[in-house]
Protein backbone atom coordinates (compact mmCIF):
# COMPACT_ATOMS: atom_id res chain seq x y z
CA UNK A 1 0.00 0.00 0.00
CA UNK A 2 1.13 3.51 -0.79
CA UNK A 3 0.60 6.59 1.32
CA UNK A 4 -2.46 8.85 0.72
CA UNK A 5 -4.72 10.06 -0.60
CA UNK A 6 -7.06 7.53 0.94
CA UNK A 7 -10.60 6.67 -0.06
CA UNK A 8 -12.69 5.67 2.95
CA UNK A 9 -16.32 4.61 3.18
CA UNK A 10 -16.84 5.50 6.86
CA UNK A 11 -20.08 3.61 7.44
CA UNK A 12 -21.35 0.29 6.05
CA UNK A 13 -23.69 -2.18 7.67
CA UNK A 14 -22.96 -5.20 5.47
CA UNK A 15 -19.75 -7.12 4.95
CA UNK A 16 -18.91 -10.07 2.73
CA UNK A 17 -16.75 -10.86 -0.29
CA UNK A 18 -19.11 -8.98 -2.63
CA UNK A 19 -18.93 -5.84 -0.52
CA UNK A 20 -15.14 -5.90 -0.42
CA UNK A 21 -14.96 -6.51 -4.18
CA UNK A 22 -17.30 -3.58 -4.90
CA UNK A 23 -15.11 -1.40 -2.70
CA UNK A 24 -11.99 -2.53 -4.55
CA UNK A 25 -13.55 -1.83 -7.93
CA UNK A 26 -14.44 1.68 -6.72
CA UNK A 27 -10.90 2.33 -5.54
CA UNK A 28 -11.95 2.43 -1.89
CA UNK A 29 -9.03 1.69 0.44
CA UNK A 30 -10.89 1.40 3.77
CA UNK A 31 -14.38 0.28 4.76
CA UNK A 32 -15.72 1.08 8.22
CA UNK A 33 -18.02 -1.74 9.30
CA UNK A 34 -20.56 -0.89 12.01
CA UNK A 35 -23.43 -3.39 12.03
CA UNK A 36 -26.31 -2.62 14.40
CA UNK A 37 -26.55 -4.47 17.74
CA UNK A 38 -23.26 -6.29 17.25
CA UNK A 39 -20.56 -6.33 19.91
CA UNK A 40 -17.09 -5.02 19.19
CA UNK A 41 -15.28 -8.41 19.34
CA UNK A 42 -17.55 -9.83 16.63
CA UNK A 43 -17.18 -6.72 14.48
CA UNK A 44 -13.41 -6.87 14.85
CA UNK A 45 -13.27 -10.58 13.97
CA UNK A 46 -15.30 -10.05 10.78
CA UNK A 47 -13.27 -6.98 9.85
CA UNK A 48 -10.05 -8.96 10.09
CA UNK A 49 -11.53 -11.89 8.16
CA UNK A 50 -12.61 -9.80 5.18
CA UNK A 51 -9.70 -7.37 5.00
CA UNK A 52 -7.47 -7.83 1.96
CA UNK A 53 -4.22 -6.38 0.69
CA UNK A 54 -6.23 -3.79 -1.23
CA UNK A 55 -9.17 -3.07 1.10
CA UNK A 56 -8.80 -2.70 4.86
CA UNK A 57 -11.94 -3.21 6.95
CA UNK A 58 -12.07 -1.23 10.19
CA UNK A 59 -14.57 -2.18 12.93
CA UNK A 60 -16.71 0.56 14.47
CA UNK A 61 -19.86 0.93 16.52
CA UNK A 62 -22.95 3.00 15.82
CA UNK A 63 -24.00 3.33 19.43
CA UNK A 64 -27.65 4.00 20.24
CA UNK A 65 -27.61 6.35 23.23
CA UNK A 66 -30.74 7.10 25.22
CA UNK A 67 -33.98 5.12 25.15
CA UNK A 68 -35.74 3.73 22.08
CA UNK A 69 -38.08 6.72 21.69
CA UNK A 70 -35.39 9.37 22.09
CA UNK A 71 -32.21 7.72 20.92
CA UNK A 72 -29.19 9.56 19.54
CA UNK A 73 -26.83 7.63 17.28
CA UNK A 74 -23.08 8.18 17.41
CA UNK A 75 -20.62 6.49 15.05
CA UNK A 76 -17.45 5.63 16.97
CA UNK A 77 -14.16 4.51 15.43
CA UNK A 78 -11.20 3.30 17.47
CA UNK A 79 -12.82 1.64 20.47
CA UNK A 80 -10.54 -0.73 22.36
CA UNK A 81 -13.27 -2.00 24.71
CA UNK A 82 -16.95 -2.76 24.05
CA UNK A 83 -19.56 -0.07 24.74
CA UNK A 84 -23.25 -1.06 24.82
CA UNK A 85 -26.29 0.61 23.33
CA UNK A 86 -29.00 2.30 25.39
CA UNK A 87 -26.89 4.06 27.96
CA UNK A 88 -27.12 7.78 28.62
CA UNK A 89 -25.63 10.17 26.10
CA UNK A 90 -23.19 11.64 28.63
CA UNK A 91 -22.03 8.23 29.79
CA UNK A 92 -21.39 7.16 26.22
CA UNK A 93 -19.35 10.28 25.43
CA UNK A 94 -17.32 9.86 28.60
CA UNK A 95 -16.48 6.27 27.65
CA UNK A 96 -15.51 7.23 24.10
CA UNK A 97 -13.22 9.94 25.43
CA UNK A 98 -11.64 7.55 27.93
CA UNK A 99 -10.77 5.21 25.07
CA UNK A 100 -9.53 7.97 22.76
CA UNK A 101 -11.97 7.05 19.99
CA UNK A 102 -13.13 9.30 17.16
CA UNK A 103 -16.78 10.33 17.56
CA UNK A 104 -18.81 11.06 14.43
CA UNK A 105 -22.37 12.32 13.93
CA UNK A 106 -24.21 10.18 11.36
CA UNK A 107 -27.32 11.50 9.52
CA UNK A 108 -27.85 14.62 11.73
CA UNK A 109 -31.46 15.63 12.43
CA UNK A 110 -32.82 12.54 10.68
CA UNK A 111 -36.07 11.26 12.22
CA UNK A 112 -35.75 10.60 15.96
CA UNK A 113 -32.41 8.78 15.77
CA UNK A 114 -29.93 11.60 15.31
CA UNK A 115 -28.35 14.54 17.02
CA UNK A 116 -30.18 17.81 16.40
CA UNK A 117 -28.47 21.01 15.28
CA UNK A 118 -28.69 22.32 18.85
CA UNK A 119 -27.13 19.15 20.27
CA UNK A 120 -24.26 19.26 17.77
CA UNK A 121 -23.62 22.85 18.80
CA UNK A 122 -23.73 22.05 22.49
CA UNK A 123 -21.30 19.14 22.17
CA UNK A 124 -19.16 20.34 19.25
CA UNK A 125 -15.92 20.18 21.28
CA UNK A 126 -16.52 16.47 21.91
CA UNK A 127 -17.35 15.56 18.30
CA UNK A 128 -14.90 14.98 15.46
CA UNK A 129 -17.02 15.13 12.29
CA UNK A 130 -20.57 15.48 10.96
CA UNK A 131 -22.01 13.48 8.08
CA UNK A 132 -22.75 15.84 5.21
CA UNK A 133 -23.66 13.24 2.61
CA UNK A 134 -25.41 9.93 3.25
CA UNK A 135 -26.24 7.90 0.15
CA UNK A 136 -29.41 6.62 1.79
CA UNK A 137 -30.84 10.13 2.17
CA UNK A 138 -31.99 12.85 -0.21
CA UNK A 139 -30.76 16.32 -1.09
CA UNK A 140 -32.66 18.33 1.51
CA UNK A 141 -31.56 16.00 4.30
CA UNK A 142 -27.92 16.06 3.22
CA UNK A 143 -27.99 19.85 2.78
CA UNK A 144 -29.05 20.08 6.41
CA UNK A 145 -26.00 18.06 7.45
CA UNK A 146 -23.70 20.37 5.47
CA UNK A 147 -25.19 23.46 7.09
CA UNK A 148 -24.73 21.97 10.56
CA UNK A 149 -21.08 21.08 9.92
CA UNK A 150 -20.38 24.56 8.55
CA UNK A 151 -22.22 26.34 11.36
CA UNK A 152 -20.06 24.70 14.03
CA UNK A 153 -16.84 24.46 12.03
CA UNK A 154 -16.76 20.67 12.23
CA UNK A 155 -15.11 18.40 9.68
CA UNK A 156 -17.33 16.63 7.17
CA UNK A 157 -17.62 13.03 6.06
CA UNK A 158 -19.78 11.16 3.57
CA UNK A 159 -20.69 7.49 3.52
CA UNK A 160 -22.65 4.94 1.54
CA UNK A 161 -24.39 3.89 4.80
CA UNK A 162 -24.84 0.65 2.88
CA UNK A 163 -27.34 -1.80 4.31
CA UNK A 164 -27.36 -3.51 0.91
CA UNK A 165 -24.17 -4.57 -0.92
CA UNK A 166 -24.99 -2.71 -4.13
CA UNK A 167 -24.76 0.70 -2.45
CA UNK A 168 -21.06 0.29 -1.66
CA UNK A 169 -19.06 2.52 -4.01
CA UNK A 170 -21.77 5.19 -4.29
CA UNK A 171 -20.09 7.57 -1.84
CA UNK A 172 -16.79 7.86 -0.04
CA UNK A 173 -14.64 10.32 1.88
CA UNK A 174 -11.27 11.00 0.29
CA UNK A 175 -8.56 12.03 2.75
CA UNK A 176 -5.57 13.94 1.42
CA UNK A 177 -3.14 11.84 3.45
CA UNK A 178 -2.74 8.26 4.63
CA UNK A 179 -5.81 7.13 6.57
CA UNK A 180 -5.48 3.40 5.93
CA UNK A 181 -6.11 1.16 8.89
CA UNK A 182 -7.81 1.82 12.20
CA UNK A 183 -5.12 3.85 13.97
CA UNK A 184 -4.41 6.03 10.95
CA UNK A 185 -8.11 6.64 10.37
CA UNK A 186 -8.74 7.61 14.00
CA UNK A 187 -5.84 10.07 13.83
CA UNK A 188 -7.12 11.52 10.55
CA UNK A 189 -10.60 11.99 11.99
CA UNK A 190 -9.52 13.47 15.30
CA UNK A 191 -6.88 15.75 13.74
CA UNK A 192 -9.21 17.03 11.05
CA UNK A 193 -7.12 15.82 8.10
CA UNK A 194 -8.27 17.66 4.92
CA UNK A 195 -10.75 15.65 2.92
CA UNK A 196 -13.48 15.79 0.31
CA UNK A 197 -16.75 13.90 -0.05
CA UNK A 198 -17.14 12.13 -3.40
CA UNK A 199 -20.51 10.93 -4.70
CA UNK A 200 -21.55 9.01 -7.79
CA UNK A 201 -24.65 10.37 -9.56
CA UNK A 202 -25.21 8.01 -12.47
CA UNK A 203 -28.71 6.50 -12.98
CA UNK A 204 -27.75 3.08 -11.58
CA UNK A 205 -26.44 4.65 -8.38
CA UNK A 206 -29.56 6.78 -8.00
CA UNK A 207 -31.71 3.67 -8.31
CA UNK A 208 -29.66 1.86 -5.67
CA UNK A 209 -30.11 4.84 -3.35
CA UNK A 210 -33.89 4.65 -3.78
CA UNK A 211 -33.80 0.95 -2.92
CA UNK A 212 -31.71 1.75 0.16
CA UNK A 213 -34.16 4.43 1.29
CA UNK A 214 -37.01 1.96 0.96
CA UNK A 215 -35.05 -0.40 3.17
CA UNK A 216 -35.47 2.10 6.00
CA UNK A 217 -39.02 0.85 6.54
CA UNK A 218 -37.65 -2.52 7.57
CA UNK A 219 -34.77 -1.10 9.59
CA UNK A 220 -37.07 1.10 11.68
CA UNK A 221 -40.01 -1.26 11.99
CA UNK A 222 -41.84 -2.20 15.15
CA UNK A 223 -40.39 -5.64 14.57
CA UNK A 224 -37.01 -4.36 15.70
CA UNK A 225 -38.66 -2.76 18.74
CA UNK A 226 -40.22 -6.11 19.61
CA UNK A 227 -36.89 -7.86 19.02
CA UNK A 228 -35.10 -5.51 21.39
CA UNK A 229 -37.53 -5.07 24.26
CA UNK A 230 -39.93 -7.99 24.17
CA UNK A 231 -38.24 -10.98 22.58
CA UNK A 232 -34.98 -11.22 24.44
CA UNK A 233 -31.84 -9.27 25.28
CA UNK A 234 -29.66 -7.94 22.50
CA UNK A 235 -25.92 -8.64 22.60
CA UNK A 236 -25.31 -4.90 23.04
CA UNK A 237 -27.86 -4.39 25.83
CA UNK A 238 -26.05 -2.68 28.74
CA UNK A 239 -27.25 -5.34 31.20
CA UNK A 240 -25.98 -8.22 29.07
CA UNK A 241 -23.64 -10.52 30.98
CA UNK A 242 -20.82 -9.62 28.57
CA UNK A 243 -20.53 -6.14 30.13
CA UNK A 244 -20.13 -7.54 33.64
CA UNK A 245 -22.37 -4.89 35.22
CA UNK A 246 -20.06 -1.99 34.23
CA UNK A 247 -22.88 0.01 32.66
CA UNK A 248 -25.79 -0.92 34.93
CA UNK A 249 -25.86 2.50 36.59
CA UNK A 250 -26.11 4.37 33.26
CA UNK A 251 -28.48 1.97 31.49
CA UNK A 252 -31.80 3.47 30.38
CA UNK A 253 -33.54 0.04 30.42
Backbone angles phi, psi at 12, to 5 degrees: -130, 150
Q: What is the pLDDT of residue 222?
A: 44
For 8-52, write each residue's pLDDT tens digit. 999 999 999 999 999 999 999 999 999 999 999 999 999 999 999
CA–CA distance, 158 with 133 (Å, rounded to integer): 5
Q: What is the pLDDT of residue 46?
A: 98
Q: Where in the chain are the domains?
A: 6-247
CA–CA distance, 239 with 248 (Å, rounded to integer): 6
Predicted confidence (pLDDT) at residue 225 exceeds the cutoff of 70: no
Structural domain 6-247, CATH architecture: Alpha-Beta Barrel (3.20)
Q: What is the pLDDT of residue 201?
A: 81
pTM, two decimal places: 0.91
58 in Cβ contact with 181 (< 8 Å): yes
Look at the chain and count its residues: 253
Lowest mean pLDDT among 16-30, 98-112, 135-149, 204-218: 204-218
For 85-107, write each residue's pLDDT tens digit. 999 999 999 999 999 999 999 99
Number of Cβ atoms within 10 Å of the Cβ of 99 = 13
Q: What is the pLDDT of residue 223?
A: 47
Amino acid sequence: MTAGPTRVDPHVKVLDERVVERARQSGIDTLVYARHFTRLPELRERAERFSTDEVTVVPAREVFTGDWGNRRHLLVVGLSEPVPDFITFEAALAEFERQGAAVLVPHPEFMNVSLTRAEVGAYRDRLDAVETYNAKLFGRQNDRGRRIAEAFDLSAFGSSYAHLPGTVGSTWTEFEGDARGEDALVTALKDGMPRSVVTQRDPATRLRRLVEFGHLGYENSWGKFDRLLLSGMEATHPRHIAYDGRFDDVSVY
